[in-house]
Amino acid sequence: MEISISLTKAWPGRRGSALILVLWCVLLLTMAVFAVLDMVELSVDHSSHNQIALEARTLAATGLAYGLNPQILKDDPLLSQQPSEGRRIQVEIDNEGGRLNLNYVLLTEHREILVNLFVLWGMKIADADRVADCLYDWVTPGDLKSLNGAKADDYARLGLKQRPTYKPFLTLDEADLVIGMDLVDKVRPNWRDSFTVWSNGPLNVNAAPADLIAAVFGLDPKRVQSLTEARNGRDEIVGTSDDVPIPDMAHLQSQLGLSDVVAKDLGSEISFDDPNRRVESIGQVEGVRVIISTVTRLGSTPIQYLTWQEQ
């Protein structure tokens, strides 16, 4: 009888323990279910983002194809369109010859063009001379340095890790390693927009801004402004359908008042066309953007890409 009473008294405690155990199991199962749901949701979101990014890249590639068509001009509606809600293609095109080819200027030994440009940008002439000489010494072989230049020993003496390659610049990032380029960056943080290593060489006066043309000929940019305004047409944008191209050196010489000596000496530094085009195409889908940037030689078969970047 005592045993029976003892068992009866023990059951309520066991039932309580079992209930607590069940509640813990339910809690753990609930946590596990929510964890699985979070993982599934994360996986779905990741897959969805990848799909959107792929679609954005497809749009960017489509825009790039438009931009590489030699017949397309800046004001063509194909370069800015919205195929559907939340989707957009935006393409910018520029003639690469409208930028100053750094290697060409240096290797044709017309450093004064760089000095002119740096001074126009606000640099002191002594500093401009030094930077131009240092740029020249970087790309030319031998240990004999320019009056204000720098060779490998000078970089070592200053504790700098970089050394001149004695070869033409491969990229503008390499040019940024040259002594004195920090001074250029101070007066013109976006100086890269004015330079290239990808054009045919001479500055294309039918695409270049007034300050670059002025630097080539050592002129005041205001003197060149009327020329570029007439060239750009009524919309004031270079590279559109209403442009009035400068036909030849005789016209350029007449408009700028250049002497025969200057025209002959610097004629090789300018051109009236360039086959290389810079294209930046943006594909956007629901806030996700993919940008493809390239410089290519128009009309080449197969297409010759001089540079390619995606982001």
Tens of pLDDT, residues 171-182: 999 999 999 999
pLDDT digits (tens, 9 = 90+) for 140-174: 999 899 999 999 999 999 999 999 999 999 999 99
Closest to 150 (Cα-Cα) out of 137, 131, 163? 137
- Pairing relationship of beta strands 276-285 and 270-271 according to DSSP bridges: unpaired
Say if residue 40 is in the same domain as residue 166.
no
186 and 140 assigned to the same domain:
yes
The distance in angstroms from the start CA to the end CA of the chain is 85
Section 74-79 average pLDDT:
95
CB 72 within 8 A of CB 239: no
For the chain, how many structural domains are there in total? 3
Pair 102, 152 in one domain? yes
Please tell me whether residues 147 and 242 are part of one structural domain: yes
Provide the whole-model pTM. 0.83
Both tokens of 196, joined, read 């290239």
Shared domain check, 112 and 83:
no
- Residue 34 in domain: yes
Spatial neighbors of 217 by CB under 8 A, at least 6 apart, are: 256, 258, 262, 266
49 found inside a domain:
no
Cβ-Cβ contacts under 8 Å for 103 (sequence gap 6 or more): 139, 168, 169, 197
Q: Are residues 128 and 213 in the same domain?
A: yes
Q: Which domain holds residue 254?
A: 97-274
* pLDDT value of position 40: 46
Decide if 203 is inside a domain. yes
Share of the chain above pLDDT 90, in %: 78
H or E element that contains 216? helix 210-217
Distance CA 18, CA 20 (A): 5
Same-domain status, 190 and 250: yes
8 Å CB contact between 310 and 90: no
The confidence score (pLDDT) of residue 301 equals: 85
pLDDT of residue 23: 57
Asked if residue 37 has pLDDT above 60, the reply is no
**Residue 50 resides in a domain:** no
